Structure formats: C-alpha cells, structure tokens
Amino acid sequence: MAGIRMLWFGCIAAAAGLTAAAAETESVSYNSVVKPILSNHCFACHGPDAETRAAGLRLDVEEEALKALSSGAFALVPGKPEESLSIEEICKSISKYPAAVRNNGGGHYNHSLFWTIMGPNAGGVPTGALADAINEAFGNFDEFKTKFNAAAAGRFGSGWAWLIKDASGKLAITSTPNQDNPLMDVAEVKGTPVLGLDVWEHAYYLNYQNRRPDYCAAFWNVVNWAEIAKRFGK
C-alpha cells in the first residue's frame, strides 16, 4: 500500500506542477494537496453523492481513493467521464469500443479472474450454496465437470470456458472465442463469470501439447472453490 500511495501522490503531484523529486521527499497530504485537485476535476462524477457516482468509484475519501487505485480496475480519463469506468462496465458495452479494447480489455478481465480462482493445495469439491446451485443446475458435481470440460474442449480455436451466474441467479456453462467473456454485450450467452478456464493453446502447450482434454481434467486439481463461492455470492 505504501508503494501505491507514493504512486498516487506522485501522479497528483505531477498534475499540480510539482517535481517528481519533491513528491518523493516531501510529505504530501491528501486533504491539503490531493483532495483540492480531485475536487476540481473529479468529484462531480466520483464524489459523495451515491446516486450520481460513476462506476461506483469514490475519490473524495482518501481510503476509498486508495482502494480504487490498488484494485487496478478503474480507468480515469480527465474530461471523459464515459471512459472512467470499471473493466466490468466497459465489457458490458464492449460493442461501443474499438477491437483493441475488446481484445485487450477482455484479456485483462479474463486473466485477472483466472489467476484468482486457482491456488496451491486447492481442488476438492464446492460446498454450501455454491454446491447446491451446481446440483440444481447440472444434477451433481461430476456431471457439472463433464459438461464444463466438454465446453472447454469443444471451443474451436482459442477462447475460454465459463461457469456463469445468469440474471435469475442460476448457474450455466458457456464458452467464448478469443478474449471475449459473458459480461460482454456481444456474447451469445450472457451472465456474470464465477469460474473461467483459458483454453488458448499457449495456456497448456508446454505440458499438454495438443491434448486439451487432459489439461481441462487437470484444471480441477487447482480450483480454489472458496474464491469461486465468494464470486457466486456477490
């Protein structure tokens, strides 16, 4: 957090016309230095009024501003409030953006999720509300894995397989090409991803060459069900 704080204050200091050296050596106060700058440029869209706050991003409180910065999920563009959105919000209206945003923004969201839903000493089976939802949607856990593996192995070319929560709160399995995801307004099946598997060949070639089904089967040994349950509960 200290490094993030220095980066934050360094950027603000630069905007205020201070030198980088001064930013590093002087104690910069959020309330006296940073907040007045944000007040002039950002609080109209990212201030105390929850009803008008864009993308849920609040900058008028130091802790909230630092939390948003450390998450890496928000992009602030001065004078362009339509671009000051979370990556989730950008994905939901991806058809408005250039192909580069769809490819790179989708890749950012997908991989950010992918790295958090795996872990050492993981695997096993889901429990609680997530297990109940899986049984309701697919019959049982083994049947769910069979259907998910089929979606992953059957995705032509490069892409992703997903377990999603749809608008009704029920679980479904789908897949998307390239770096697309089910949040996107261009997705054939839409929903909120709770689990995703990267089936681009570079994700598995070193260990599995062209044996994608083997890679899919091994994936379950590293799935972090606690993290997935947390995502399902949101």
Tens of pLDDT, residue by residue over 36-92, are 877 887 788 888 888 777 756 788 888 887 766 555 445 555 566 665 678 898 899
The pLDDT assigned to 83 comes to 58
List the domain boundaries for the chain.
Answer: 2-85, 106-233
The pLDDT assigned to 16 comes to 40
**Which helix (DSSP H) or strand (DSSP E) does residue 196 occupy?**
strand 192-198
What are the 10-residue block averages of pLDDT along the chain, 234 residues in total? Answer: 37 40 52 81 82 75 72 55 76 92 94 95 96 98 98 97 97 98 98 98 96 98 97 94
What distance in Å separates the CA atoms of residue 81 and residue 52, rounded to the nearest whole number? 12
In the chain, count H helices and then E strands: 12, 3
- Rounded to 5°, the CA angle 150-178-135 comes to 35
The pLDDT assigned to 10 comes to 38
> Which DSSP symbol is given to 17?
T
Output the CA torsion sign for 233, 170, 162, 104. Answer: negative
Scan for tokens 């209206």, then name that residue: 93
The token pair that represents 61 in the structure block: 């409180």
What distance in Å separates the CA atoms of residue 116 and residue 181, rounded to the nearest whole number? 16
What distance in Å separates the CA atoms of residue 49 and residue 174, rounded to the nearest whole number? 38
Beta-carbon-side half-sphere exposure of residue 94 (alpha carbons within 13 Å): 24
Scan for tokens 């994608």, then name that residue: 212
The pLDDT assigned to 2 comes to 37
What distance in Å separates the CA atoms of residue 150 and residue 179, rounded to the nearest whole number? 19
Identify residue 44 by its one-letter amino acid code.
A
162 Cβ contact list (under 8 Å, min separation 6): 151, 173, 174, 175, 176, 181, 182, 191, 193, 195, 196, 197
CATH top class, domain 106-233: alpha beta
> Which DSSP symbol is given to 156?
-
